[in-house]
Amino acid sequence: MAGNDTLFGKIIRREIPASIVYEDDEVLGFLDTAPQAPVHVLFIPKHEAIPTLDDLQPEQAQLVGRLVLAAAAHARAQGLAEDGYRVVINCRADAGQTVFHLHLHLLAGAALGRFGTPE
């Protein structure tokens, strides 16, 4: 995954630390440093540097499935699935995307507020 110069690329390459809680052949999961819920984990593709969801190509579609499945597996393993959880992908400015390496947020651990309210 050479050439990815984002913060998350550095985490993949272990150049900066992260609290890694999930890893498989395609996906890395680590704790968000500014959690928006009691459980807030970020899931990223390890081998492809895709800046935003809008850049995803049809032949890369399985990657999003892998991110979702990783989040679901982690939630199940942590005993969070029964109470429930939310997964979110922010795309660009209006969604508040700040790191341009495709990632999925898993939010859980409490009843979550509604979402999508314009500021």
* Backbone dihedral region for residue 92 (phi beyond 0: left; psi -120 to 50: alpha; all else: beta): left
> How far is the C-alpha of 55 from the C-alpha of 46, rounded, in Å?
16
Q: Which is nearer to ligand 5GP, 13 or 82 (CB)?
A: 13
Task: Say whether 47 is catalytic.
Answer: no
- Least Å distance, CB 30 to ligand 5GP, is 5
> How far is the C-alpha of 99 from the C-alpha of 36, rounded, in Å?
16
Question: What residues line the site for ligand 5GP (CB under 6 A)?
Answer: 7, 18, 30-34, 42, 90, 96-99
Identify residue 111 by its one-letter amino acid code. Answer: A
Q: Which of 16, 26, 112, 117 is closest to 67 using CA atoms? A: 26
- Least Å distance, CB 15 to ligand 5GP, is 11
Exactly one of 40, 47, 101, 103 is catalytic; which is it? Answer: 103
- Least Å distance, CB 42 to ligand 5GP, is 6
Residues with active-site annotation: 103
